[in-house]
């Protein structure tokens, strides 16, 4: 088999057209029917327009057209005008459509004119239907590849924007925490002012300790999110105990809760090991507790429960906060989003619940939210065991 034949066979066999739609603009019924039949055999979805005006109307109304087979000698509006209509269209998707001109006019000058109008190929009649089909496969494959690359470039730009915004948010939060730590340390270094004010000294040290813990948790969160920005990276599974994770993080959250007169109720914790990821679970549970305590009113309760069955691991955090309107319940899991009712009341990075969802999904988990204004919120995360 020759190289050309081998390449043609490869195109027919390997290039997916995903049921691409091809507009046939042809006023000769026999030719239009033949092309329609052969295109269907190849897995394409053909549409037929018998004049140039009808073709322009289809192009304006049918969003799924992927390629145009265009005769030149057409009634009402000829192929040159249709080609110019396509290339000058205000909709970029239409202006970029591949166009193959099919004409009884001789090649040479007409081929050049076709290229000047913006045609991608010019096949003179009598043309080989097989050649038309191969050109369709080739151009649609190229179009799909361009589309894939455009999506990838947009995704990379979005990742870069998110990464830049994340770093800016991180630096802002770190600067705020270090400003608090630095200011209180300066006061403590003066010393004499607090020799007889142990309560004030203790309060300052507690605030410093809290700020340091906040920085540590933020660093853990950013470490995992940064790793996951690389699509080649996945979180390795490891055996860990949820009771040990919760026991380690509770002093920090209890300290924050006490300052707001909020009580965190922790149900008895299961001791059996689970195969997930220790640091990710720490970030998930910490973020949920931090979110619950932050938005709870004074003298209210937050509940944490963990249930391990033979097939499932469930983490439940419930609060008595203001609740979340239905229209915001999907938005709160997007990066940097903060609810309309609380964004001016509570500081935050806007990454907490995004981290919860991102890390939960990375571990194969599912997150559900039950909430309504004035009724608090319940977050349930379920992992397969």
- CA gyration radius, the chain: 32
Average pLDDT of the residues in 55-80: 91
Please calculate the CA angle 325-376-297 and round it to the nearest 5 degrees.
110
Return the number of other C-beta atoms located less than 10 Å from residue 298's C-beta. Answer: 8
- Reported as a pLDDT band with limits 50, 70 and 90, residue 176 is low
pLDDT at 65 over 60: yes
Please calculate the CA angle 364-302-353 and round it to the nearest 5 degrees.
40
CB 246 within 8 A of CB 304: yes
The enclosing H or E element of 181 equals helix 129-190
Domains of the chain: 3-151 (3.40.50.2300), 235-385 (3.30.565.10)
Q: What is the pLDDT of residues 111-169, one digit of tens each?
A: 778 778 888 998 887 888 999 999 999 999 998 898 888 888 887 777 676 666 556 65
Q: What is the pLDDT of residues 301-360, one digit of tens each?
A: 999 999 999 999 999 999 999 999 999 998 898 876 765 554 444 445 557 788 899 889
> From CA 43, how far away is CA 51, in angstroms rounded?
25
* Residue 117 CA: distances (Å) to CA of 42, 69, 97, 113, 126: 28, 14, 13, 6, 22
- Reported as a pLDDT band with limits 50, 70 and 90, residue 67 is very high
Q: How far from the centroid of its chain's Cα atoms is residue 105's Cα? A: 50
β-pairing, 301-308 vs 312-319, is antiparallel
Q: How far from the centroid of its chain's Cα atoms is residue 62's Cα? A: 27
Instruction: Write out the two tokens for 265.
Output: 């109720």
């Amino acid at each position: 088999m020759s190289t050309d034949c081998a390449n043609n066979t490869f195109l027919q066999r390997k290039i997916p057209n995903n049921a691409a739609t091809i507009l046939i603009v042809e006023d000769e019924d026999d030719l239009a029917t033949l092309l329609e039949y052969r295109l269907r055999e190849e897995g394409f979805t053909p549409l037929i327009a018998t004049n140039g005006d009808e073709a322009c109307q289809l192009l304006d109304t049918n969003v799924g057209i992927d390629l145009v087979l265009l005769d030149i000698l057409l009634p009402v509006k000829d192929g040159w005008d249709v080609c110019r209509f396509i290339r000058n269209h205000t909709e970029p998707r239409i202006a970029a459509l591949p166009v193959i001109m099919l004409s009884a006019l001789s090649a040479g000058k007409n081929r050049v004119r076709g290229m000047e109008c913006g045609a991608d190929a010019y096949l003179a009649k009598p043309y080989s239907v097989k050649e038309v089909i191969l050109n369709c496969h080739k151009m649609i494959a190229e179009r799909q590849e361009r589309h894939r690359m455009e999506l990838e470039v947009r995704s990379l730009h979005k990742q870069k924007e998110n990464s830049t915004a994340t770093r800016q948010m991180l630096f802002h939060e770190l600067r705020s925490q270090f400003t608090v730590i630095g200011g209180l340390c300066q006061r403590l270094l003066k010393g004499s002012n607090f020799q007889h004010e142990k309560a004030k000294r203790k309060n300052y040290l507690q605030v410093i300790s809290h700020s340091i813990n906040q920085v540590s948790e933020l660093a853990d969160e950013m470490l995992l999110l940064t790793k996951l920005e690389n699509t080649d990276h996945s979180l390795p599974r490891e055996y860990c105990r949820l009771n040990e994770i919760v026991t380690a993080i509770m002093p920090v959250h209890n300290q924050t809760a006490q300052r707001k007169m909020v009580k965190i109720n922790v149900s008895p914790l299961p001791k059996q090991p689970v195969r997930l990821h220790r640091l990710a679970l720490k970030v998930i549970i910490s973020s949920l507790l931090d979110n619950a305590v932050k938005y709870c009113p004074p003298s209210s309760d937050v509940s944490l429960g963990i249930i391990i069955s033979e097939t499932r691991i469930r983490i439940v955090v419930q609060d008595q906060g203001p609740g979340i309107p239905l229209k915001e319940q999907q938005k709160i899991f997007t990066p940097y989003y903060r609810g309309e009712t609380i964004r001016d009341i509570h500081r935050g990075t806007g990454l907490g619940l995004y981290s919860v969802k991102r890390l939960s999904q990375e571990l194969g988990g599912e997150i559900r939210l039950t909430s309504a204004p004035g009724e608090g919120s319940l977050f349930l995360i379920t992992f397969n065991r």
